[in-house]
Structure 1
Amino acid sequence: MLKEFCAENLTDLHKLVGTDITRVELCDNLAVGGTTPSYGVLKEATRYLHEHQITVAPMIRPRGGDFVYNDLELKIMEEDILKAVELEADALVFGLLTKDNLLDVDGIDYLIPACQGVDMVFHMAFDLIPQDQQLAAMDQLIEFGFRRILLHGSAERHNIFDNIDHIKTLLEHADGRIEILLGGGVTKDNCQELLSLTGSNQVHGTQLI
């Protein structure tokens, strides 16, 4: 089992040392679902976590709200990606949708060169894609070269255990071509059961320690 801790700035990073957490998604402003951490936070967090053999995946999200971004916001995201790569981030977490909640393929295509081969993770914006479009969207993300999708299994059903069947469908379709990272209501107490029920091997959350 791989455990990814969702951290807001530097606050709880010291608590991870000596635990079974091996990866951190680093965010600011978790009250709105996470936004891009500052340059200084990312620099110091990456240095500290790498010293303790923990990898870092910063959120690239210029604001709260929806995941439909204009040209100026895309340029901001591009600059933040370039800085994260410069600071040796291990992965980059972002998600872009159209007004119809489909993948914004043009926006993704624009950002990919800035990633310079660093692992790309599509975040829980994936849950907003209509379920009958999600398998096709997954195939597109695989073609783009994404390493991982963070998902809860539904934008409506808040208890992740209510989404087991759909998560299993997504994992079966992924078939090892892309990693499926489970998040949203995952805790240190329920993660083992969740992985047993779904067949996934990695979890994400703020309550894993």
Structure 2
Amino acid sequence: MINMEVCANSVSSALAAQEGGAIRVELCDNLPEGGTTPSYAQILLAKKMLSLQVYPIIRPRGGDFLYNDLEFELMREDIQVCKSLNCDGVVIGILNADGSIDKERCKVLVDLASPLPVTFHRAFDMSNDLEKALEDVIEIGCERILTSGGESSALKGVDTLAKLIKKAAGRIRIMPGAGISESNIAEIIQKTGATEFHASARTAVASKMAFRNQQATMGSSSDEYSYLLTNSETVKNMILEANKPL
């Protein structure tokens, strides 16, 4: 059985993920930046309204994964919030300036999160040596690694993903993510043997605003009158594709 985790950018997306058959959501905000820590209210309502596992990402900002002392303190506090709200796990990732895994700080967060399990996110893909990073993440005590094999998509990184799964040898779960779709998930399974996958399964939802000011913009988005939301049918179809007999 292939399991699906959905990267949910809101409680609404998380509900759609659950409807589609996902077993877990990585709850986050700011998907265009790769995901940042969701608000207290998003986490609270997700835990109230969902029956699947909720893993908030612990990431204080977009950009790189080298954090200063204040940002690290924010991460510690956010983990405490997640524990107080009875989350099922958390998602972390910190690098040193040289691109190696910051084992010292990551271990602090893993120990602080205990007994909650911890996923190491795609900061892994930005590390300077994926095989060394694999051993480091195992050493600090994470239960899984979300990775594209160091490439822009899991399909491009499929050979590296297969090598990582073989090298992990059951010591940690390797969860392919980035660009996972209905059209490629079966191929990635066949080439890697992965049993867990991560996808956003998102689609653009058109605004219902009747009045639209086309001169002003609120951010970097090219379309101020649409937003992204997980699609339950897309999740369902990916799971069906993933679990078809070979």
TM over 0.5: yes
Whether the 8 Å contact between 1:74 and 1:111 is mirrored in structure 2 is no
Q: Structure 1's 139 and 26: CA in aligned 2 closer, same or farther, altered over 3 A?
A: same
Structure 1 residue 166: Cα displacement: 0.9
Which of 192, 197, 205 is 2:186 aligned to? 192
3-state SS of paired residue (1:204): strand
Count of aligned residue pairs for this structure pair? 202
Q: Is 1:203 matched up with 2:197?
A: yes
Identity %, equivalent residues: 37
User: Any gaps of 5 or more consecutive residues in structure 1?
Assistant: none
Alignment of 1:113-192 (within 5 A): 113-130=111-128, 133-154=129-150, 157-192=151-186
In 2, the alpha carbon distance for the partners of 1:183 and 1:9 equals 19
**Aligned mates of 2:10, 2:122 — CA distance in 1:** 19
**Residue range with higher mean Cα deviation, 167-176 or 100-109:** 100-109
Question: Which of 43, 51, 76 pairs up with 2:74?
Answer: 76
Shift of 1:21: 0.9
Check whether the contact 2:36–2:61 (CA below 8 A) recurs between aligned residues. Answer: yes
TM-score of the aligned structures, taking structure 2 as reference length: 0.78
Match of 2:62 in 1: 64
Q: Which residue of 1 aligns with 2:218?
A: none
Q: Tell me: CA distance 1:60–1:159, structure 2 relative to 1, closer, same or farther (3 Å).
A: closer
TM-score (norm 1): 0.91
| SS of match in other structure, 2:170 | coil
Q: Give 3-state SS (helix, strand or coil) of 1:161's partner.
A: coil
1:159/1:120 Cα in 2 relative to 1: closer, same or farther (>3 Å)? closer
Q: What does residue range 10-29 of structure 1 map to in structure 2 within 5 Å?
A: 10-29=11-30
Specify every segment of 5 or more residues in structure 2 that has no aligned partner in the other structure, as ranges.
202-233, 236-246
Judged with a 3 Å threshold, the aligned counterparts in structure 2 of structure 1 residues 72 and 200 are, in CA distance, closer, same or farther, namely same
CA RMSD of aligned residues (A): 1.4
For residues 92-127 of structure 1, give each alpha carbon's deviation from its aligned partner in whole angstroms, at most 9, with x where no partner exists.
101000111111122113323320221011100101
Other-structure match for 2:98: 100
Do 1:67 and 1:95's aligned partners in 2 also have CA atoms closer than 8 Å? yes
User: Which 4+ runs in 1 deviate beyond 3 A?
Assistant: none
Equivalent in the alignment of 1:39:
40
Contact 1:46–1:56 (Cα < 8 Å) also in 2:
yes
Note closer, same or farther for the CA distance 1:200–1:144 as it changes in structure 2 (3 Å cut): same
State the AA in 2 paired with 1:71: D
